[in-house]
C-alpha cells in the first residue's frame, strides 16, 4: 500500500512526527501523533534508498512476523505504509524506555521485579514459539517498558520461522550485543531457535539479578569460546530458586536445556506462567 507523504517534512500519512525515540542499526524510530484521533504511536522508519539487502530483509521479516503475533507483551504493529523512498511501521507507543536503560540506572532489579519480567517475556516468547516464530535477538535493548512497568518484546528483525531449521552464522550476532547468544548459534550446523531463545532468557535473568553478564571477554572470539565452555559463577546473593532456574536455562547442550514446559513449572516463576502444552 502506497500512501504518499505530505509535503510538510514533519508529516507522514495522517501522522505528525515528533521526537526521536531511538535509533537501531537499520532504522529510526519516532514518536508521532495521529492528526485526527490524537493517538500517539511509535513509527519505525526505514529508508529504502540507503538500506542494503540485509536491512530490507530484516524489515520484511519484522512486518510479516509482527502481523502474526498478538500478545500483551509483544509490541503491537498497527499499520504499515510506504512512500517512494521509505517504509513506515506504525507501532503501539511505549513510554518507559528500554530495559537496558532501566538496568543501567538500577544496576540490579529486586527479585520480584526480575520475576515479573521473566513471566511476561517468557509468556510472549512461548506465544511466538507456538506460532512457529523464534525471536533470536533477545537482549535488554530489544525489550521495552510501558508506563505501568510491563515488559514488551520488540525488534523482530532477526526473527524467523523455526521449522526451516537455522544454519548457524555469526552474522546474525554481528549487529548487536553478542553476550546473549547461545553456543549452538555461534557454532556450525543447524539449531533450534526456540532453545536459543531460552538460553538468552537465562542470560537476561542472570543480568537482571546480578548487574553483570555471565560471560565476558576482551574480544568476540574469546567471548564465544567462553559461551561454548558454558561455565559461569552466580553470586551468593542470588536466591536458590532463581539460581536453579538460571542453571536450567544457561545449559550448553540445547538437548539438555530446559524446554518452555519445564520453565513454566519452575518454582521461581510460582506457577504464574500457567501450564504450557508441549509444542510439536
Name which of 8 and 52 has its Cβ closer to ligand ADP: 52
Q: Could you give the CA distance from residue 266 to residue 248 in angstroms, rounded to a whole number?
A: 10
Catalytic residue among 101, 106, 112, 137: 137
> CB of 114 within 8 A of CB of 208?
yes
Of 25-33, 109-117, 199-207, 222-230, the window that binds ligand ADP (rule: CB under 6 A) is 25-33
Residue 101: active-site member: no
Name which of 142 and 210 has its Cβ closer to Mg ion: 142
Contact call for residue 24 and ligand ADP (CB under 6 A): yes
Q: Quick one: how far is CA 246 from the chain centroid?
A: 18
Q: Is 44 annotated as a binding residue?
A: yes
Rounded to the nearest 5 degrees, what angle is found at the Cα of 125, between the Cα atoms of 20 and 141? 30
Minimum distance, C-beta of residue 14 to ligand ADP, in the bound complex (Å)? 18
Which residues of the chain form beta strands (DSSP E)?
11-12, 15-23, 28-34, 40-47, 77-82, 86-92, 133-134, 143-145, 151-153, 160-161, 166-167, 190-191
Which residues of 174-213 form beta strands (DSSP E)?
190-191
Contact call for residue 143 and ligand ADP (CB under 6 A): no
Q: Taking CB under 6 A as the criterion, which residues in 148-167 touch ligand ADP?
A: 154-155, 157
Contacting positions for ligand ADP (CB under 6 A): 21-22, 24-27, 29, 42, 44, 75, 91-94, 98, 141-142, 144, 154-155, 157
**Residues that are catalytic:** 137
Binding-site residue set for ATP: 44
Amino acid at each position: 500500500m502506497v500512501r504518499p507523504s505530505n509535503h510538510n517534512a514533519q508529516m507522514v500519512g495522517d501522522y505528525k512526527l515528533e521526537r526521536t525515540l531511538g535509533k537501531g542499526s537499520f532504522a529510526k524510530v519516532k514518536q508521532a501523533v495521529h492528526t485526527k484521533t490524537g493517538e500517539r504511536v511509535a513509527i519505525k522508519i526505514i529508508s529504502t534508498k540507503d538500506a542494503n539487502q540485509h536491512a530490507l530483509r530484516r524489515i520484511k521479516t519484522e512486518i510479516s512476523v509482527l502481523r502474526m503475533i498478538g500478545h500483551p507483551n509483544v509490541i503491537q504493529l498497527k499499520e504499515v505504509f510506504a512512500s517512494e523512498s521509505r517504509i513506515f511501521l506504525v507501532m503501539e507507543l511505549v513510554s518507559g524506555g528500554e530495559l537496558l536503560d532501566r538496568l543501567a540506572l538500577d544496576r540490579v532489579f529486586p527479585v520480584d521485579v526480575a520475576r515479573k519480567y521473566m513471566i511476561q517475556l517468557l509468556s510472549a516468547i512461548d506465544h511466538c514459539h507456538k506460532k512457529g516464530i523464534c525471536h533470536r535477538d533477545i537482549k535488554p535493548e530489544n525489550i521495552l517498558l510501558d508506563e505501568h512497568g510491563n515488559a514488551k518484546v520488540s525488534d523482530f528483525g532477526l526473527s524467523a520461522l523455526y521449522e526451516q531449521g537455522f544454519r548457524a552464522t555469526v552474522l546474525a550476532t554481528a549487529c548487536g550485543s553478542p553476550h546473549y547468544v547461545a553456543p549452538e548459534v555461534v557454532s556450525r550446523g543447524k539449531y533450534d531457535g526456540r532453545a536459543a531463545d531460552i538460553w538468552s532468557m537465562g542470560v537476561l535473568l542472570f543480568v537482571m539479578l546480578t548487574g553483570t553478564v555471565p560471560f565476558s571477554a576482551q574480544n568476540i572470539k574469546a567471548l564465544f569460546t567462553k559461551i561454548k565452555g558454558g561455565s559461569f559463577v552466580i553470586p551468593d546473593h542470588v536466591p536458590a530458586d532463581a539460581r536453579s532456574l538460571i542453571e536450567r536455562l544457561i545449559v550448553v547442550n540445547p538437548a539438555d536445556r530446559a524446554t518452555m514446559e519445564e520453565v513454566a513449572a519452575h518454582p521461581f516463576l510460582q506457577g504464574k506462567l500457567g501450564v504450557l502444552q508441549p509444542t510439536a
